[in-house]
Amino acid sequence: MARATLNDSYILWWYFIVKHYSMEFDRLSDDVKKEALEEAQRTYAGFIKFLKWLSVIWIVLILTMCANNFLDDPTASQSDPAWREDYNSNMGLDE
């Protein structure tokens, strides 16, 4: 005859709790499940609509920036040699 230890009763206790509370979902009425499903579907549709509008705004913003040459650097990041003496004097690099 096997004697139940403290560990075995502890496991059985948690098994009872998990089994008891997991059955609560099965007790929900079909109306509650239907309402939850409808709410989830409405929320998902709203989220997708939000992402579509956000994407449209970003695309329009990028096209506007490209049309106005926003990313174009006309100087091609070249320095003006005429300003070299002023730059050196401002930075304290005079010789």
Residue 92: inside a domain:
no
pTM, whole model, 2 decimals? 0.45
- The DSSP code for 70 is T
Average pLDDT of the residues in 49-67: 93
pLDDT digits (tens, 9 = 90+) for 26-52: 566 778 888 888 999 999 999 999 999
pLDDT digits (tens, 9 = 90+) for 3-14: 555 556 666 666
Residue 55: inside a domain:
yes
pLDDT digits (tens, 9 = 90+) for 67-80: 887 767 666 667 77
* Counted domains in the chain: 1
Residue 22: inside a domain:
yes
Residue 90: inside a domain:
no
Which two three-digit tokens encode residue 63?
Answer: 């096209």
Query: Diameter of the chain by CA atoms?
Result: 102
In this structure, are residues 92 and 86 in contact, taking their beta carbons and an 8 Å threshold?
Answer: no
Give the pLDDT band (50/70/90) at residue 1: very low
Alpha carbons within 13 A on the beta-carbon side of 90: 5
- The DSSP code for 72 is -
Residue range of the domain that includes 66: 6-72
Report CA Rg, the chain. Answer: 35
As a whole number of angstroms, the distance between CA 28 and CA 25 comes to 6
The distance in angstroms from the start CA to the end CA of the chain is 101
